[in-house]
Amino acid sequence: MAFSEFRGNPQIVTALQGAMRANRVPQALLFTGPRGVGKYTLARLVAQAANCERLNDDACGECYTCQRIALLADPQRLIEQGLAERGESADASMVERTPLILQTHPDVWVLPPDPVRLKTPVARPTLRVGQLRAVQRAAYFQPMGKRRVFIIDGAETMRWDVANVFLKILEEPPGSATLILTAPSPYSLLPTIVSRCLQFHFAPLPNSEVESILKDKSDFAPAAIKLAAQLSEGRPGRALEMDAEAESQRRRSALDILDRAARGEGRRPGPEGGLPQGGQPTGHDAEGRDAEEGSDQDGRRQEAGR
């Protein structure tokens, strides 16, 4: 895959390709934007272009290096493979000793948030200190090819104490390596990390562009393509993995619930605006009735005393 094949945000592609053409590849990049907009895809493309055996400012897609790095296009399969090798009985110390690192070429690593186990993953996968320490050691090794590239996917999942380990790499960046972080927003990272990165924000794509991508990369029906493009909100990655009909049904259900709530139909009153038909009084209603009955009894006693 070449830079020319990347869809959307052309100004970012132009800036990165220009830096590579001038042999001024940044040492730290931060890609921000919504999930599915192309951050990880472009990070992988930068890794290919930085190590391509035939070109200096692009990826040919045909050399051995480009083909090996292209295998990172399906990270989920590699994550499942890594977790299966670690086993379901992994404890905290084993997770740190065997960090989850996706590697199909010696010079390019991808570090995703670690779910710990395959069959019983943790509720919120995070980047682990063992992963970042592995990068800290490997970043200073000389590359076997042109350049070492480390893609830190989901950088916002780093705990702040773990992020300090990564900060040490950015404070003294190796000249032969590039670190690429992806996150939905720069505000989810430490300001000291953001300030040391060259930042690019990825904007959502127009619906027409998303539809074009779906026509090329999916077997959706024309109606499903149009619907998925609308529901994806400009995120082609989200559109490709979406069940458009199911997503549309969920949205209709949510809108129906909101509409009923806005009209006050969440609780159906009785014939005269009191309790629901066949319902029992609530605690507040019972207390109010007891107070009224007590007041009536006091009034009758006073009348009898007169």
Residue 266 lies in a domain: no
For residue 253, what pLDDT is reported? 85
Is residue 142 domain-shared with residue 242, that is, in the same domain?
no
pLDDT at 304 over 50: no
Report how far residue 278's alpha carbon sits from residue 200's, in angstroms, rounded to the nearest whole number.
61
Report how far residue 21's alpha carbon sits from residue 13's, in angstroms, rounded to the nearest whole number.
12
Beta strands in 141-300 (DSSP E): 148-152, 177-183, 198-201
Is residue 151 domain-shared with residue 231, that is, in the same domain?
no
For residue 174, what pLDDT is reported? 84
pLDDT at 10 over 90: yes
Report how far residue 57's alpha carbon sits from residue 40's, in angstroms, rounded to the nearest whole number.
19
User: Domain range for residue 163?
Assistant: 3-203
pLDDT at 65 over 60: yes
For residue 162, what pLDDT is reported? 84
Is residue 128 domain-shared with residue 249, that is, in the same domain?
no
3-state helix, strand, coil split of the chain in percent (to 5) is 50, 10, 40
Report the number of distinct structural domains present in the chain.
2
Residue 139 lies in a domain: yes
Domain of residue 41, CATH code? 3.40.50.300
Q: Which residues of 18-57 are buried (b: 16+ CB within 10 A; e: fewer)?
A: ebbeeeebbbbbbbbbbebbbbbbbbbbbbbbbbbeebeb
Is residue 11 domain-shared with residue 153, that is, in the same domain?
yes
Q: What are phi and psi of 264, to 5 degrees?
A: 75, 30
For residue 133, what pLDDT is reported? 92
Give the global pTM: 0.79
Mean pLDDT confidence for 97-117: 94
Task: List, for residues 218-237, the tens digit of each pLDDT value.
Answer: 888 888 888 888 888 899 99
Residue 59 lies in a domain: yes
Q: Which of 36, 48, 43, 51 shows the shortest CA–CA distance to 12?
A: 43
Give me the DSSP letters along 78-137: HHHHHHHHH-TT--HHHHHHS---EEEETTEEEE--B-S-SSS--SS-B--HHHHHHHHH
Residue 291 lies in a domain: no
Is residue 178 domain-shared with residue 60, that is, in the same domain?
yes
